[in-house]
């Protein structure tokens, strides 16, 4: 079962089976247009030509769909990616990481138990955050060589996460409210925007050099980087990445 896909940093939760969707024509090849899909049994499938062709890059030999339940995937650039596991309760939280454009993936332990992860965000190849059950927040500032626990407090189920830069981030608490940080996730505070008494399912942040409104938009560079977490079964992060052309 496929769970999420990414367009060099764009992760989309596909939910369950295809539901009777009719296959369309194969997209035209676009060199350097990277697409990544992840799902159960540590499955990761990638395309380097915009979906014209696909290659399987990861799958568990034991076919364990629980321990290898990949739930979200993101890339910091064309080479560096992370996919988080929802995993098994009371076991070490873990994820898969790639430093070679998704050709190979290795397991990384984030050093906490009972850390079932649901979402991941990256602002570049060094700054990555993963969140999940029990208010779990883990972060790395060195591309995954080391991870630090940055618990958001309480027993929240953190379903979505997005960072507009290395300091400013947001996480969706269940279906009720938001957490926000201005310190790279070291401390968090609860935000309940007006009119959000209903069921919340999505989160989005956007960086733009043209606007300085930090609640939704924050300038960080001359190049605009977009980060999205869309509603329902869809979540997406898009970053400007100069993908190598023609790599296989």
> Please, is 214 exposed, middle or buried when counting C-beta atoms within 10 Å of its C-beta (0-12, 13-18, 19+)?
middle
What is the rounded CA–CA span in Å between residue 112 and residue 232?
29
Q: What pLDDT score was predicted for residue 62?
A: 87
Q: State the pLDDT confidence band at 233, using cuts at 50, 70 and 90.
A: very low
Under DSSP, is residue 135 helix (H, G, I), strand (E, B) or coil?
helix
Q: Residue 90 has what pLDDT? A: 66
pLDDT digits (tens, 9 = 90+) for 36-48: 999 989 999 999 9
At 232, is the pLDDT very low, low, confident or very high (cuts 50, 70, 90)? very low
133 three-state secondary structure: helix
Which percentage of the chain shows pLDDT scores above 90?
A: 40
pLDDT of residue 69: 87
Average pLDDT over residues 128-139: 92
CB-CB contact of 55 with 37 (8 Å): no
3-state secondary structure of 184: coil
Q: For residue 93, what pLDDT is reported? A: 82
pTM as predicted = 0.75
pLDDT tens readout for residues 154-193: 788 899 999 999 999 999 987 778 899 999 999 999 988 7
Q: Is the pLDDT of residue 109 over 50?
A: yes
Cα–Cα distance measured from residue 32 to residue 141, given in angstroms and rounded to the nearest whole number? 27
Sign of the four-CA dihedral 160, 109, 124, 169: positive
- Tens of pLDDT, residue by residue over 15-38, are 445 556 677 788 888 988 899 999
CA distance 108 to 245: 28
83 pLDDT above the threshold of 50: yes
Can you give the pLDDT at residue 19?
A: 56
In this prediction, residue 18 carries a pLDDT of 53
| pLDDT at position 242 over 90 | no
Task: Provide the mean pLDDT of the chain.
Answer: 76
Predicted pLDDT at 142: 96
For the cut 80, the answer to whether the pLDDT of residue 9 exceeds it is: no
| pLDDT higher at 137 or 243 | 137
Q: Is 111 in a helix, a strand, or coil?
A: strand
User: How confident is the model at residue 64, as a pLDDT?
Assistant: 84
- The structural domains of the chain, ordered by start, are 2-18+30-229 (2.130.10.10)
Among the ranges given (5-14, 65-74, 92-101, 201-210), the one the predictor scored with the smallest mean pLDDT? 5-14
């Amino acid at each position: 079962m496929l769970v999420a896909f990414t367009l060099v940093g764009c992760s989309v939760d596909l939910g369950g089976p295809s539901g009777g969707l009719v296959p369309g024509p194969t997209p035209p090849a676009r060199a350097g247009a990277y697409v990544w899909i992840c799902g159960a049994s540590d499955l990761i499938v990638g395309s380097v030509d915009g979906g014209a062709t696909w290659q399987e890059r990861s799958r568990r030999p034991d076919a364990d769909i629980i321990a290898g339940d990949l739930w979200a995937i993101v890339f910091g650039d064309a080479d560096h990616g992370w996919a988080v596991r929802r995993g098994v309760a009371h076991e070490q939280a873990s994820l898969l990481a790639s430093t070679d454009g998704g050709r190979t993936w290795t397991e990384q332990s984030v050093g906490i138990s009972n850390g079932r992860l649901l979402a991941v965000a990256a602002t570049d190849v060094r700054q990555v955050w993963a969140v999940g059950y029990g208010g779990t927040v883990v972060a790395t500032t060195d591309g995954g060589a080391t991870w630090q626990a940055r618990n958001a407090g309480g027993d929240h189920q953190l379903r979505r996460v997005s960072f507009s830069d290395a300091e400013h981030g947001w996480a969706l608490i269940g279906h009720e409210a938001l957490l926000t940080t201005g310190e790279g996730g070291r401390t968090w505070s609860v935000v309940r925007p007006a009119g959000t008494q209903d069921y919340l399912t999505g989160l989005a942040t956007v960086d733009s050099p043209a606007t300085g409104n930090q609640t939704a938009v924050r300038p960080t560079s001359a190049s605009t980087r977009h980060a999205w977490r869309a509603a329902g079964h869809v979540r997406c992060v898009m970053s400007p990445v100069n993908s190598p052309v023609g790599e296989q």
